[in-house]
Amino acid sequence: MNGKLFKLKYCATCEMYRAPRSIHCDDCNACIQKLDHHCPWVGNCVGKRNYKYFIAFINSTSLLIAYMIAISIWTLAMLAD
């Protein structure tokens, strides 16, 4: 790869050679390339192929929480009048 030699690792659970920078996830029972973590909220691993979608999910959830807090404060202010 890029003129450098590297050693392929064998995953005994998946019974196959893993891609470089892949790690076996015990929760998903699969080898995930560039594994970041296994997310219990989403229910799958966050890795190379879905990292940008996970970040979009976190950002949209944060915006929703901020919106709900703003609406709650506005509603409580209207009830106080």
pLDDT at 1: 62
Residues acting as catalytic residues:
39
pLDDT grade, residue 80 (50/70/90)? confident
**Is the CB of residue 14 less than 8 Å from the CB of residue 20?**
no
Rounded Cα distance, 76 and 68, in Å: 12
| Residues 19-74: tens digit of each pLDDT | 888 999 999 999 999 999 999 988 999 999 999 999 999 999 999 999 999 999 99
pTM: 0.76
As a whole number of angstroms, the distance between CA 25 and CA 36 comes to 10
Q: What region does 44 belong to: left with phi over 0, alpha with psi -120 to 50, or beta?
A: beta
Does the structure show a pLDDT above 70 at 8? Answer: yes
Is the predicted pLDDT of residue 9 greater than 70, yes or no? yes
